[in-house]
Structure 1
Amino acid sequence: MEIDNDVPTILATLRMEADPELAATFYSLEDLWERKLWHQLTDALAELYADPRSKPLRLRIFTQFIQVFERNLNQLKLVIFGVLAAAQCNNDEETLGFLTSLADKVSHKPDTQDAYVYAQIEIARVKLRLKDMDGAREVLNSVTGTIDSLNSVDPIITAAYYGVNADYYLSKGDFNTYYRNALLYLACIDLSTLSVEAVQKRAHELSVAALLGEKIHNFGELLLHPVLDSLKNTEYAWLRDLLFALNQGDISEFEKLTSQHVSKLPPLEAAMPLLRQKICLTALTEAAFKRPTNDRTLTFAAVAKETQLPADEIEHLVMKALSLELIKGHIDQVAQTITITWLQPRVLNKQQIADMKQRLDQWDANVKQLGGWIHDRGEGVWLEA
């Protein structure tokens, strides 16, 4: 209770140190605290913490004010405020200690599992910054089951979970898993809540991962996401263009862009054999995609023309596409043909959707024509009701 009596003084001190335009908020906090309107007080605190002008005082607001009545708060909100406050700690070691103490407060309670999980995820984030990779992985693994068991999960938790997992796999050089987790992270957030620099950084990382991931051959989901547009008019705008060229199997544009820019990113320059294989695989699948489903037998010569590969390398390319399950079908070595019976489903861009519509229109016309032909030929045997 002694601390309670100090609350007005504490808030007055914080108010005088804060931006003058935040003064009304501090008066409101004091009024709501005195009336014990915890829900309204939580909303007021959320508004204050969302204001960038509160950054210098967030840690003190938490330790000197919020902790006075922390048991009356929604515990997930408590952790959210704590995580924002922890950003003002002097270093990562201090941040880790602060968050660990916060996690202990909400641990081992059935009704605070979500708060505990969020605190643990943020602990894993700090461990990553401290290069404690094993520690971060252990923490993330420990909360995975809990997240799966929760009836509902706040988006801030899922966003943090996928975001930290993405950062972990990126630091390990696992581009395939990073790519999947980073896209899931983006699905959980509103891009407008991130700084321009943060959005561009994520777009750059995703672009490089998409190019270097050996199992990533469909870029449609990334190409349609607004995050990629953040690279326009930047020094890495060519990365976006390269992804579009790869997705379309446009070998000429691919060669142009790589010759001009790939030396700017040594990891991509070192991976040129992989990138060339990717563009050839896409050119193969695009060649099949553009053909009617009842006419997907391609000659080696036709594939060589589409992929700009020597004829003696076509069989190896097709076998690679089959092993990656980009296509299903069979090779006729005698006839030098490939019959494709199935294409891996993929996210289509607007032009591909337009092409698909045109083919559906043609199919509809063919069906009507066939129906008319059958009707004319069977005119003498049709029975009308």
Structure 2
Amino acid sequence: MQVDRDVTIYLSKTKASAPADLKPHFAAFEDLYDRKLWHQLTVALTAFAALPSAAVYLVPLYDEFVSEWEKRMNQLALVQYAAKASRTIKDPKAALAFLEKHAARLRDNKDAKDAYVLATMEAAHMRLVTGDFVGCKAAIDESEATLNSLPHSDTVINAAFYRVAADYYKAKAAYPLFYHNALLFLSSVSLDDLSAAEKHERAYDLALSALLGDGLYNFGELLMHPVLDSLTNSPSAWLRSLLFAFNSGDNDAFEKISKSADFLKMPLLVSSLPFLSQKLCLMALMETVFRRTKEDRGRLPFAAVAKDTRVAVHEVEHLVMKALSLGLIKGSIDEIDQTVSVTWVQPRVLEMGQIKVIRDRLAGWSGTVKEKVLSLEQEGGVDISAAAE
């Protein structure tokens, strides 16, 4: 490859007019390009693109400089550069065209499937911005199939995929799918890379989806995630408290929060009160089963369930049947004796209060075992603990 004279002229002129802090970067581009050090040039370009003051140069730099040697670049690095450049384009349709050009160039490159997925998902984001939901969903489906075929993928690609997928399902109000993809996005990035505003927004959206998601009865993972701390000491702190109330089946806390001014300002939650009430009852049922010993679960009176879940005794059977059908518990109902036998409760990620229950239960079990050992020693006159050693 011959050094393009037009490229060197462009770099020289741009360097002359650039701010003082950017001049060394353009000088480095000239030197590395002249020496054909493509890897070092890619590294230098990536560092340049990360500078806030470089934003206005990204698109023209691609058109006049990068496009001349882009085939020699690491293709993933090239797409990451193009993605940053696209965010400086004010017209979403123009930004989409810019990104689609890169995706089209990589479509048949078997050695750059990861870069193709990244370009496709960045373009899918712009499709979402322009209201092309069909095109966005098609890109998500195609990229998911490609990712599943790869032995491994970079976290940058995973983050881009889950970010766009979460945004799509949020726009479609598909709460369970949003919840799933939003958590996977957070697992693919460092929270330190997100602004305070973005952390708050993601925590807020995740909290709402956990509450409103049909089939979401286990959101301990969210409760233990540090992103939820962004709601603490904020106007949305009540939403965090509401999540914890649901997770522990706390009817009193739910009733108090549902009557608060903050809750009543949320038409989406107010209109969903019947659904939320039933969901809370189911989670209260899971919690009351979880907190009982194996022996107590074997014969749980309707009256005890009614007390803990705040439903009428005649509604307990229906509540338990609902929990059984959803796979939240396993067991049987004795209509004659008005009891419930639970053999299994859906595993959950536990928050600290629930972990304390297990700890106390283990401590109690340990104490019982110790008492029995001591009793046997006294009855038989043998030091069992010493014999065991």
Please classify the TM superposition score into its range, dividing by the shorter chain length.
Answer: over 0.9
Deviation at 1:374, TM superposition (A): 5.3
- Are the counterparts in 1 of residues 302 and 316 from structure 2 also a CA contact under 8 Å? yes
Q: Who is 1:53 aligned against?
A: 53
Distance 1:227 1:10 in 2: 45
- Give deviations 1:81-124, integer Å, cap 9, x for gaps: 11111112231111111111111222212211111111111121
State how 1:327-366 maps to structure 2 within 5 Å. Answer: 327-366=329-368
Deviation at 1:257, TM superposition (A): 1.0
Indicate the SS of the match to 2:65: helix
Q: Who is 2:256 aligned against?
A: 256
Indicate the SS of the match to 1:294: helix
Deviation at 1:64, TM superposition (A): 1.8
Q: Who is 1:189 aligned against?
A: 189
What code does the residue aligned with 1:263 have?
L
Indicate the SS of the match to 1:338: strand
Distance 1:257 1:355 in 2: 25
State how 1:14-163 maps to structure 2 within 5 Å. Answer: 14-163=14-163
State how 1:307-318 maps to structure 2 within 5 Å. Answer: 307-318=309-320
- Are the counterparts in 2 of residues 3 and 68 from structure 1 also a CA contact under 8 Å? no
- Are the counterparts in 2 of residues 285 and 343 from structure 1 also a CA contact under 8 Å? yes
What code does the residue aligned with 1:38 have?
W
Deviation at 1:76, TM superposition (A): 0.9
Indicate the SS of the match to 2:296: coil
Q: Who is 1:267 aligned against?
A: 268
State how 1:256-295 maps to structure 2 within 5 Å. Answer: 256-260=256-260, 261-295=262-296
Distance of aligned partners of 1:54 and 1:372 in 2 relative to their CA distance in 1, 3 Å threshold: same
Distance 1:14 1:254 in 2: 61
What code does the residue aligned with 1:272 have?
L
Distance 1:343 1:207 in 2: 23
Superposition misfits of 4+ residues, deviation over 4 angstroms: 16-19, 371-380, 382-385
Distance 2:121 2:172 in 1: 18
Distance 1:121 1:147 in 2: 12
- Are the counterparts in 2 of residues 14 and 57 from structure 1 also a CA contact under 8 Å? no
Deviation at 1:25, TM superposition (A): 2.4
TM-score (norm 2): 0.92
Distance 1:145 1:228 in 2: 31
- Give deviations 1:322-372, integer Å, cap 9, x for gaps: 111111111112222112111100000122212212212222333344445
Distance 1:204 1:37 in 2: 46
Indicate the SS of the match to 2:22: helix
Distance 1:118 1:37 in 2: 25
Indicate the SS of the match to 1:246: helix
Distance of aligned partners of 1:384 and 1:203 in 2 relative to their CA distance in 1, 3 Å threshold: closer
Indicate the SS of the match to 2:343: strand
State how 1:204-223 maps to structure 2 within 5 Å. Answer: 204-223=204-223
Q: Who is 2:7 aligned against?
A: 7
- Are the counterparts in 2 of residues 42 and 77 from structure 1 also a CA contact under 8 Å? yes
- Are the counterparts in 2 of residues 326 and 344 from structure 1 also a CA contact under 8 Å? yes
Distance of aligned partners of 1:36 and 1:313 in 2 relative to their CA distance in 1, 3 Å threshold: same
- Give deviations 1:269-298, integer Å, cap 9, x for gaps: 110111111221122111111111222132
- Are the counterparts in 2 of residues 299 and 336 from structure 1 also a CA contact under 8 Å? yes
Distance 2:314 2:201 in 1: 41
Identical positions, percent: 42
Structure 1 range deviating more: 168-177 or 369-378: 369-378
Aligned length, in residue pairs? 384
- Give deviations 1:49-108, integer Å, cap 9, x for gaps: 122222222212222221121011001111111111111223111111111111122221
Q: Who is 2:178 aligned against?
A: 178
Q: Who is 2:306 aligned against?
A: 304
Indicate the SS of the match to 1:21: coil
Deviation at 1:376, TM superposition (A): 6.0
Distance 2:65 2:375 in 1: 83
Q: Who is 2:225 aligned against?
A: 225
